[in-house]
A and B are shown apart, each in its own frame.
Chain A
């Protein structure tokens, strides 16, 4: 195994790790700190990783930063829940207030690929009526965009990530075929299907971001059931093995073990770049645009600690709402006992 990814940055000296090959590398373009890049992106997960890829493919000079390491799953991911905590953002965060958030260690990721490295792969589309929640359902607010626009992007992502899904989705407007066939249900899924049928409800296998057939050199999902602690076989279509390699090939630079601590603005009240810590040194990357894509906790944190004379309440906070009413990943689970053996630990969720 190569040097410890958690100690030494891997994305440097003109190369980046190839997460699909044991010990693999690929060439990576690099930008100097004093070069005004078009975009500095903070975070490389579902938001930042995807954006880095698209911007680079459109020809923008792009540097993406992640506080965490750049893993090669095939050789570095164990089938062990405790060990794989290395994927999580476990720096201390205090849950306070009248209604403190109930977090888990896995709320956000600290790795190239972000939380997608350990996400449960559930790849649903938001339904049309939810984009008009206030008008049609009487709660929350309407979204500022039409559902058709978003559904156009869903299709692009589903294709890019080879989502496995059902031939016929039983609710909402017709949608195009999922690129890969649906996975077989595990026994826990069959219990739910049986329940739905008893109640006369429609059901369908969940569209999932894990391969049901080979893709390139990645094998189909082997149903090992450790999805939420990182996929060691690369069947999971996380940003780490999809958007990030594509971004690097398109000319983006990704800096691992590089934690952004402050966004700088100038007298014109526009941002000029980011201060980041890498290899024990604070450095400054010049950039024309800064994108903050670091989860519901670290994103507002960075905006708030970047306050200055012009923005005493933090950046992008004229509403005063940055960091308030924040919502993290919600989770729901039901446990039960059945006559049959369920062996819940097998298969994707």
Chain B
């Protein structure tokens, strides 16, 4: 994957006026999150990690964002959203049931647990889940398509983009208090923002991105 913001690291701004003390604490905590599950069982953990690898596949040339661990943290703390579709059970129960149902589907349709089948088979199952065509009794009345969009993809994508590495990838400015920004207009980059590399301009962008901190 082409690096659109070469050399940009939002963490370089950690000690600048773009980060206040409470933000430093919050992000430090996120970066130091345990890679072992506190909520999910060993079996669920394997399945969850395999799903995350398909929903938000990650490049091999950088440390991965611990997506499954961030989802696990949300479950362990039972940090609910404030709303729940009536066809879904409570957040934690929905995840447990969804993971186990997906494993059953993998077993019956492809002869192995979800994390053991091929990537193509995994994608087929996830697509079927999204379209609502999975019907193993293990779903127990929970529509797989609602689980996919309102619970599974929702939590996984939110976890991914809550991580500074994802902000680097999309050139997001990240924390911005108390300094904020000055230049509001078109094509106006503040010196502490990511520079996007135009084709052929990678070195120039890299040089600018070195100075965001």
Residue positions of A touching B, CB distance < 8 A: 1, 75-83, 85, 88-97, 100-101, 103-105, 107-108, 184-187, 190, 221-226, 232-233, 340-343, 345-347
- State the Cβ distance, A97 to closest chain B Cβ, in Å: 8
Whether A225 pairs with B181 at a CB distance below 8 angstroms is yes
Q: Which residue of A lies closest to B178 (CB)?
A: A233
Q: Is B1 an interface residue when CB atoms closer than 8 A count as contact?
A: no
- State the Cβ distance, B170 to closest chain A Cβ, in Å: 10
Of the candidates A79, A82, A105, A342, the one having the most CB atoms from chain B within 10 angstroms of its own CB is A79
**How long is the Cα–Cα vector from A226 to B20 in the complex, in angstroms?**
13
Whether A93 pairs with B82 at a CB distance below 8 angstroms is yes
List residues of chain B with CB within 8 A of the CB of A221. Answer: 180
List residues of chain B with CB within 8 A of the CB of A187. Answer: 184-186, 188
**How long is the Cα–Cα vector from A92 to B182 in the complex, in angstroms?**
40
Cβ-neighbour of B176 out of A89, A91, A95, A224 (below 8 A): A224
A79 and B19 in contact, given A222-B180, A223-B180, A233-B177 (Cβ under 8 angstroms)? yes
Q: Is B162 an interface residue when CB atoms closer than 8 A count as contact?
A: yes
A77 and B86 in contact, given A190-B186, A341-B189 (Cβ under 8 angstroms)? no
List residues of chain A with CB within 8 A of the CB of B19. Answer: 79
Cβ-neighbour of B26 out of A80, A96, A346 (below 8 A): A80
Whether B80 pairs with A91 at a CB distance below 8 angstroms is yes
Q: What is the interface of chain A mostly: helix, strand, loop, or mixed?
A: loop
Whether B86 pairs with A94 at a CB distance below 8 angstroms is yes
Given contacts A82-B30, A94-B83, 9 further A-B contacts (CB under 8 A): A88-B82, A93-B83, A108-B82, A187-B186, A223-B184, A224-B176, A232-B20, A343-B189, A346-B181
**How long is the Cα–Cα vector from A341 to B180 in the complex, in angstroms?**
18
Q: Is B22 an interface residue when CB atoms closer than 8 A count as contact?
A: yes
**A–B pairs, 17, beta carbons within 8 Å:** A75-B22, A80-B27, A80-B162, A90-B79, A90-B82, A92-B80, A94-B83, A94-B85, A97-B86, A103-B83, A186-B184, A222-B177, A224-B177, A224-B179, A226-B176, A345-B173, A346-B181
**How long is the Cα–Cα vector from A343 to B79 in the complex, in angstroms?**
30
A103 and B82 in contact, given A78-B22, A82-B158 (Cβ under 8 angstroms)? yes
List residues of chain B with CB within 8 A of the CB of A77. Answer: 22, 177
- State the Cβ distance, B68 to closest chain A Cβ, in Å: 16
Chain B, interface size: which category? 35 or more
Please list the 4 inter-chain residue pairs (A to B) with the smallest Cβ-Cβ separation, ordered nearest first: A222-B180, A79-B175, A103-B83, A96-B86
A341 and B196 in contact, given A91-B80, A223-B182, A224-B176 (Cβ under 8 angstroms)? yes
List residues of chain A with CB within 8 A of the CB of B183. Answer: 346
Q: Is B136 an interface residue when CB atoms closer than 8 A count as contact?
A: no
Q: Is B174 an interface residue when CB atoms closer than 8 A count as contact?
A: yes
Q: Is B90 an interface residue when CB atoms closer than 8 A count as contact?
A: yes
Whether A222 pairs with B178 at a CB distance below 8 angstroms is yes
Q: Is B84 an interface residue when CB atoms closer than 8 A count as contact?
A: yes
Whether B86 pairs with A346 at a CB distance below 8 angstroms is no
Q: Mark B174-213, 1 if CB is under 8 A from A, else 0.
A: 1111111111111111100100100000000000000000
- State the Cβ distance, A138 to closest chain B Cβ, in Å: 33
List residues of chain B with CB within 8 A of the CB of A225. Answer: 173, 176, 180-181
List residues of chain A with CB within 8 A of the CB of B23. Answer: 78-80
List residues of chain B with CB within 8 A of the CB of A105. Answer: 81-83
Q: Which residue of B lies closest to A185 (CB)?
A: B184
A224 and B180 in contact, given A78-B26, A345-B172 (Cβ under 8 angstroms)? yes
